[in-house]
Amino acid sequence: MRLDKDTKFTRPNIKQELNKTTAFMLPALDLQNSKTSYKILEHFGFVNCYLDHKQGIYRKENYLYLLFNPTREAFKKFYTLYEIYKNHPNFVEDYMIDHQLIMVVFKIKEKWKSTYEMFKQSKYSKMSKEYADMFKTVTLSGKVNIGYQYLIIHKHKDYREHLEKELDVEISSNAELMNIIDLTKETFDYARPIKIQLNEGQCQTS
């Protein structure tokens, strides 16, 4: 099948709030450079990052699955993103699930495998403290921005007190500061995928 400007299609309307895997594990792929920043991923219809794809043909314990649901215009230029991620050292494969619904599979960097396992077990405070630093940034003006992920991984006292006030509960100092993972939200469940080949300017499936 060849898609061009005259192709008629129905674009799946995939709308989901960001899950925990996206919030915590996306940095483990080292995609956050100028060519693959989060804003660039969003431009190409990034939906979520998953621990598994239920119907996927590439399934391993240390894989992450990035789902894209690009608009028609972004889809026509998706090959430009493909040219970037196909050379990523941890890129595994990509495939089309439906019209303009694309899954891109990466494997976790060796350095972050233990952190990945702790995340899957909801043992957030056991995740690497070095990894947590990826959620702390400094602006050009010197302002330090700290993501809630950093506070959760560090079991930060101020964040625990914030949660206690917000939820009107008492939280043990030994408790994790986020609820356990719901695998139904961290696993993508859809139709059987189709192998995709992305060529310059066009998409072909087989």
Determine whether 91 is exposed, middle or buried from the number of CB atoms within 10 Å of its CB (0-12, 13-18, 19+). middle
Q: For the segment 149-198, what is each residue's pLDDT rounded down to a tens digit?
A: 999 999 999 999 999 999 999 999 999 999 999 998 999 987 544 444 44
pLDDT grade for 87, boundaries at 50, 70 and 90: confident
Would the pTM count as exceeding 0.75?
A: yes
Q: What is the mean pLDDT of residues 139-143?
A: 83
Percent of the chain whose predicted confidence (pLDDT) is above 70:
82
Percent of the chain whose predicted confidence (pLDDT) is above 90:
49
Q: What is the mean pLDDT of the chain?
A: 82
Q: What is the mean pLDDT of residues 115-132?
A: 97
